Amino acid sequence: MITAGIDCGAYNTKVVLYRDGKVLARAGVRSGFDPPAAAERALEQALQQAKIGRQALTTVITTGAGRKSVPFADDNVTAVTADARAVHELAPEVKTILDIGAEEGRSIQCTEGGRVADFAMNEKCAAGAGTFVETMARTLEVPLEEMGPLSLQSEKATAMNAQCAVFAESEVVSLIHQGTQIKDICRAVHDAMADRCVAMARRSGIVPQVALIGGVGYNVGFVSSLQRELALEVLVPEHPEYVTALGAALLGADHLNS
Amino acid sequence: MKANYGYKDGSGEYYITIDSDLCTGCGSCVTACPAEVFTVVADEFSLDDEQVAIVAEAQRNKLKYACAPCKPVGERSPLPCVAACRPGAIEHSW
Amino acid sequence: MSNATQTAVQAQPQQEFWRWKEYNWHDPHLDWQAATTISCGIDVGSVSTQAVVLADGRLYAFASRRTGNNSPGSAQKALDWALEETGLTLGKIHFTVGTGYGRVNIPFADKAITEIACHARGANFIYGPSVRTLLDMGGQDCKAIRCDERGKVQNFLMNDKCAAGTGRGMEVFADLLQVPIESVGEMSFQVEVEPPPVSSTCVVFGKSEALGLLRSGWSKEKVLASYCRAMAKRVVELLARIGVEPQFAITGGISKNIGIVRRIEDELGVEALEPQGDYDPQIAGALGAALFAKALVERQRRQGATA
């Protein structure tokens, strides 16, 4: 039995194909302005990777912001449920999940059994999500993937006061003019983001082990800032961006098995 | 006068309202708040320099985060600042 | 973010859209030497600085100029410019009140007073005592103030955390659409039917949304109409916190954008006041500061007389 989980994020659409405890394929495309079409393309790519046809899929479960817009889905689940399910599968010791995507951030507190106890969200404001780092990278003229490594080279904390991505752009420009080193600004950007994410997580409660998933999980600079802010070790699973899609695929399999 | 400190952004509205006509400037909120949100200063709105509580400048644009530990998602106890204010001059919008 | 946004952003990286007119003025028919009280107000904003001088509570001179990156210097320059060709000098001024974002940085000011109080006091002078609700929309913040017939603040809020609803948010959209800021208001009315507002409050997300709309075939005018409507709605939501009581007045840079002003009036069902006489609403803060300065001098004199 093969199940497909599709995470229709605001920025990227991710697909995971799953069978009997194994991930068969992962594929991601830009969501663009037509989420159903993006879901279609991502699913096709994943099927090609796995070298199987569409008819081999037993069920397709969608999740994420655009989960209700995919006509060929069999069912949909919220990202919070999908996150908790997948993280429990990957690392059952995790009690607190931070899922920071491009346009949304979530924190989830899980029970022993991997069920959702509480969750809090940062949404509809770019300051609380991955877009913040991306906007600052563009202002700094640093490729997004270099933000993390550069940030790790910094040994100095620099304050960033702006709580809005648009105003933070001006603040970054003035930091550059004041001669602040780029690596220190990168760290300041990640520290500011981590500060907001931890405050969000405090609402739902922080209990170790903490895991970070979502696209921001690839950013080693953010992970380091987050660990410093939490004063805790943070676990980042492999392929953090695909964890939510995996959760949807797992929930699909659970449902068929029950 | 009602002074609304805070902001509204895409995620919601986060204002702390202090009624300066009720506030006595006693400073109970300053000691009660674990996040150093409040401070007592000479009232900038009157020429008489009476003492009044305000939301500290540094906290005004991050109240959502500063107040987060006192506002858990689940069961909420009364907010320490609101509980400490005897004249009832403090209100939260969220 | 798509390549289209990047190109649009990079094409005009640092263009300044909220250019204020710089000017000075004094009343040649007023003799400052005959005045008992000469008071001064300086409003150092993040974008512009105004200096206002009153002779016995009557507007005598003022100047408005860009703040630049040296705020103490710009306060001095604005005052010097206001006093140009008047024969009046700083030493002859009895009291100076500083206000605005740079108020604590004015070396020659006798006292600093928050801009909220000064705006209310100044608007009371400019629009008359019937004004109750003030909306000041600047380049980087938005203030809503309720005041009484004496210009005393009863309720206020200020938002300088989020770029939505400020001049800066409008600037981002003008940049994205490559439209000069002065044309935004007019262009936003060149639509057959008013489109629904852009749904994202956040400027960054609104920008992506606008790109999607353009791609789906919307004209620039339609996107502008949609954003102006969204901004008006947002401001009206802010005003709801303090309550709108007529008379109502709008000041600040955005008061010059009819695309926003008309839509705010439409949402509120209330028309904004026109200023009395020839006063530029932009000097409201500095004017209020100068009025406070006058009151402070008079009080000092009274206290001196009774002591």
Q: Which residues in chain A are contacts of B68 at CB distance < 8 A?
A: 199-200, 202-203
Structure confidence at residue C4 (pLDDT): 41
Residue contact B73–A118, C-beta within 8 A: yes
Would an 8 Å CB–CB cutoff place B75 in contact with chain A? no
Report DSSP letters for A229-240, one per residue: HHTS-EE--SSG
* Interface residue A135 vs chain C (CB under 8 A): yes
Q: What are the tens digits of pLDDT across the range C178-199? A: 999 889 999 999 999 999 999 9
Q: Which tokens hold the place of A25?
A: 């394929």
Of B71, B74, B72, B73, nearest to B92 by C-alpha is B71
- Comparing alpha-carbon positions, the chain A residue that sits nearest to B57 is A161
Contact C204 A124 (CB under 8 A): no
Q: What is the pLDDT of chain C when averaged over all its residues?
A: 89
When pLDDT is averaged across residues C106-110 and rounded to a whole number, the result is 94
- Assigned CATH for A92-236: 3.30.420.40
Residue C131 confidence (pLDDT): 96
Which among C114, C153, C162 has CB closest to B7?
C162
Q: Which of C154, C241, C245, C291 to mutate to test the interface with B (most CBs of B within 10 A)?
A: C241
Residue burial A155-194, b: 16+ Cβ < 10 Å; e: rest: eeebebebbbbbbbbbbbeebeeeeeebbbbbbbbbbbbb
| H or E stretch covering C247 | none
- Measured between beta carbons, the chain A residues lying within 8 angstroms of C16 are none
- Res C166 pLDDT > 70: yes
Q: What is the pLDDT of residue C86?
A: 94
DSSP C94: S
Taking contacts as CB-CB distances below 8 angstroms, the residues of chain B near C113 are 44
Q: Where are the alpha helices (DSSP H) in chain A?
A: 35-50, 79-90, 130-140, 144-153, 165-177, 182-204, 220-230, 243-257
Segment holding A212, helix H or strand E: strand A210-213
pLDDT at C277: 74
Q: Report the chain C residue with the minimal C-alpha distance to residue A128.
A: C202
In chain C, which among 272-301 make CB contacts under 8 A with chain B?
A: 292, 295-296, 299
CATH class of C23-128+276-306: alpha beta
Q: Which CATH number fits domain B2-71+78-92: 3.20.20.60, 3.30.70.20, 3.40.50.300, 2.60.40.1180?
A: 3.30.70.20
Quick one: pLDDT at residue C1? 39
Mean pLDDT, residues C18-38? 86
Considering chain A, tell me which residue range(s) the CATH 3.30.420.40 domain(s) occupy. Answer: 1-90+241-258, 92-236
Q: Report pLDDT for C107.
A: 92
Interchain contact, B47 vs C117, CB within 8 Å: no
Superfamily of C157-268 according to CATH: ATPase, nucleotide binding domain (3.30.420.40)
- Name chain C's partners: 3 or more CB pairs within 8 A: A, B
Residues of A in contact with C200 (CB under 8 A): 124
Q: Residue ranges of the domains in chain B?
A: 2-71+78-92
Contact between residue A119 and residue A80 where contact means Cβ atoms under 8 Å apart: yes
Q: How many A-B residue pairs are in contact by the CB < 8 A criterion?
A: 44
CB–CB contact B9 C162 (8 Å): yes
Rounded CA separation C136/C284 (Å): 10
Mean per-residue pLDDT, C162-177? 92
Residue A119 to chain B, least CA–CA distance (Å)? 7
Beta bridge partners of B90: B18
Boundaries of every domain in chain C: 23-128+276-306, 157-268
Beta carbons of A123 and B10 less than 8 Å apart: yes
Q: How far apart are CA B11 and CA A127, in angstroms?
A: 10
Chain C residue with CA closest to A174: the answer is C69
CB contact under 8 A, A164 and C200: no
A258 to chain C, closest Cα gap in Å:
40
- Confidence label for C20 from pLDDT (cuts 50, 70 and 90): low
| Distance of residue A125 Cα from the nearest chain C Cα, in angstroms | 5
* pLDDT, average across residues C43-60: 92
Which residues contact residue B77 at a Cβ distance below 8 angstroms, ignoring those fewer than 6 apart? Answer: none
- Average pLDDT score over residue span C261-288: 89
**Which of C1, C202, C208 is the mutation pick for testing A, counting most A CBs within 10 A?**
C202
Out of C116, C241, C292, closest to residue B15 by CB:
C241
Q: Give the highest mean pLDDT range of A51-65, C67-81, C275-289.
A: A51-65
Strand partners, C20: none
pLDDT of residue C182: 86
- 8 A C-beta contact, residue A51 and residue A24: no
d(CA C198, CA C224): 9
User: Shortest Cα distance from A159 to chain C (angstroms)?
Assistant: 16
Q: Which residues of chain A register pLDDT less than 70?
A: none
* DSSP three-state, residue C228: helix
Chain B residue numbers with beta carbons less than 8 Å from the beta carbon of C158 are 4-5
| Digitized pLDDT (tens) for each residue of chain B, 94 residues in all | 999 999 999 888 999 999 999 999 999 999 999 999 999 999 988 877 899 999 999 999 999 999 988 988 777 789 999 999 999 999 999 9
Nearest-Cα distance to chain C for B9, in Å, is 6
C276 or C187: which carries more pLDDT confidence? Answer: C187
Residues 6+ apart with CB under 8 A from B70: B34, B35, B79, B80, B81
Q: Is the pLDDT of residue C3 over 50?
A: no
Min Cα–Cα distance to chain C from B6, Å: 7
Q: Does domain A1-90+241-258 have CATH number 3.20.20.70?
A: no
B66: left (phi over 0), alpha (psi -120 to 50) or beta: alpha
Identify the pLDDT of residue C18. Answer: 45
List the one residue out of B61, B50, C27 whose CA is nearest residue A199: B61
Q: Where are the alpha helices (DSSP H) in B1-94?
A: 28-32, 63-66, 80-84
Q: In the prediction, which pLDDT does C9 show?
A: 38
The chains found to touch B (3+ Cβ pairs under 8 angstroms) are: A, C
Which of A33, A135, A166 is closest, CB to CB, to C216? Answer: A33
Asked if C9 reaches chain A (Cβ–Cβ under 8 Å), the answer is yes
Interface of A with B (CB under 8 A): 118-120, 122-128, 161, 163-164, 195-196, 199-200, 202-205
Q: Do C237 and B93 meet the contact criterion of CB atoms below 8 Å apart? A: no
